[in-house]
Amino acid sequence: MWKLCKILLFIFLSFLAILCIFFALSIGYISAIVFLPTWFPVQVSKLARGPWNLEDTYDVNDPNIKLSPWGQPYDSECGMVRMIFLEMDCLVPANKCLQKIEMFEKEKNIGKFHNISNYCFEAATCMRMMACREGEYHYTKFHKYPHNFFMNHSSLPICMTKFYKSIQEESFDNCTREFQFLSFCFQEFSRLFCETEVADYLNRSYEYFLELALIPTKIGCGIYEKFEALECQDTMDTFKKSVEMLKLGNQTREDYKNVAIICDEMQSCFSNLTNQCAISSEFLKTSNEYCEKMHFLSSPFWQCLSRMKKENTQPDLLKFSCFIGHQFDDDSMACLRFRDSADCVKDIMMDHCGMDSVDNFEYFRSYVLEMWDC
């Protein structure tokens, strides 16, 4: 009986030993795949699928290349197991992130902003934590999406506006109006005067923010363009206030002239921008039309025409026989006068108001015809 027990015990221990060896070999095999990925190379395009083109490669011979936590260069292949993790844990959420951003752009549901932003940043962090070539590749391609999403829809633009105003008013330390002030002023300012989410973001991603804030965006409208456009904010605000003042009535030529001067300053500022994309196309269009109108209403041409209409000026018909049958105060014939008798009107204006009144006559004549829907 004792011998039988010894035999069974020996068999059990042998089986247990074999099981342990098998387990150890399995662990070793998996470790080799995960931690020694260069033994099991997998092409980038074979397993990892992202919503971007897979044409970029990394230089594996770069002497400055960083090493992963496992001692392997980030440019080494991920290996089979980590490629599966990359696909499931990183790329699937990355694609969902882009879908969520697209839906947000349509719905503009601000309540979902923080959840989407955090979800997208987690997907980017996942790629970086893979610490291998494919992970870095996809991180490089993807990480701009969560950053741009945060910059466009968080309170960061409001913080930037406050900061720029403090720079203009010289109310914050010794910051200058040159772009170099970003490197040491803005981050400190955000901690004191901006939302916590903005301060946390800048504390975490300030280098990336600077990269975007100091270099013009190649495609689309980025932080650089938005920050640069703040240069025109003062003149835009002054313009809007002037428009409101004109709506109160009792406008004079000087009022129109002052607004026209503000228009020139504002449009000059716009023309100096690298890209006007940060200013709404609607504002650019309406302000341009309004400014054109201000220049017209403050012009000697319109002042002369208004005075002759108000006084119902009667020119010497012997000298200006072409004006027979016309009256300056007769609006029903205004289109006819400027369409068919323009040269006659021009001569009368020059005779009564001087040469200034007919400067750019053809331009103002066209403007009048368009304004009156002739």
Mean pLDDT estimate for the chain? 78
- Please give the pLDDT value at position 76: 64
Mean pLDDT within 32-55 = 43
- Please give the pLDDT value at position 38: 40
Q: Of 72-76, 111-115, 171-175, 338-342, which gets the smallest average pLDDT? A: 72-76
For residue 196, pLDDT beyond 80:
yes
67: phi then psi, degrees, rounded to nearest 5: -100, 145
Domain spans of the chain, in order of start: 32-153, 155-160+176-214, 232-297, 300-371
Q: H-type helices in the chain, by residue range? A: 2-35, 44-47, 80-85, 92-107, 113-129, 133-142, 144-153, 156-168, 186-193, 196-214, 223-229, 233-246, 253-271, 281-297, 300-311, 334-340, 342-353, 361-371
Q: Of 22-31, 232-241, 341-350, which gets the smallest average pLDDT? A: 22-31
| 71 Ramachandran zone, left/alpha/beta (phi>0; psi -120 to 50) | left
- Please give the pLDDT value at position 121: 92
- Given a contact cutoff of 8 angstroms between Cβ atoms, the answer to whether 213 and 224 are in contact is yes
In whole angstroms, what separates CA 210 from the centre of its chain? 15
User: What SS3 class is residue 1?
Assistant: coil
Q: Let me know the angle formed at the C-alpha of 310 by 305 and 313, rounded to the nearest 5 degrees.
A: 70
- Please give the pLDDT value at position 63: 53
Mean pLDDT within 238-258 = 85
Mean pLDDT within 86-91 = 88
CB pairs under 8 A, 24+ apart, for 95-103?
Answer: 95/50, 95/51, 96/123, 97/123, 97/145, 97/146, 98/51, 98/145, 101/145, 101/149
For residue 33, pLDDT beyond 70:
no
Rounded CA gap, 171 and 177, in Å? 12
DSSP letters spanning 163-181: HHHHHHTT-STT--SSGGG
Q: What is the b/e burial string over 90-123, where b = at least 16 CB atoms within 10 angstroms of the residue's CB?
A: bbebbeebbebbeebeeeeeeeebeebbebbbeb
Mean pLDDT within 296-322 = 83
pLDDT one-digit tens code per residue, 137-164: 888 889 888 988 898 888 888 888 888 8
User: What SS3 class is residue 323?
Assistant: helix
For residue 179, pLDDT beyond 60:
no
For residue 126, pLDDT beyond 80:
yes
Strands (E), the chain: none
Return the structure tokens found at 351.
Answer: 């005779």
Mean pLDDT within 234-248 = 88
For residue 189, pLDDT beyond 90:
no
Q: Exposure of 139 by Cβ count < 10 A (0-12 exposed, 13-18 middle, 19+ buried)? A: buried
- Please give the pLDDT value at position 315: 80
Rounded CA gap, 220 and 222, in Å? 6
- Please give the pLDDT value at position 265: 93
For residue 349, pLDDT beyond 70:
yes
Confidence category of residue 341, pLDDT binned at 50, 70, 90: confident
The residues pairing with 73 across neighbouring beta strands, listed in sequence order, are 67
Please report, as a single letter, which amino acid is at residue 316: D
DSSP letters spanning 335-360: HHHHHHSHHHHHHHHHHHH-GGGGTT
pLDDT one-digit tens code per residue, 45-83: 333 445 444 344 445 455 555 544 444 555 567 777 778
The residues pairing with 67 across neighbouring beta strands, listed in sequence order, are 73
Q: Of 56-60, 182-186, 267-271, 307-311, which gets the smallest average pLDDT? A: 56-60
- Given a contact cutoff of 8 angstroms between Cβ atoms, the answer to whether 213 and 223 are in contact is yes
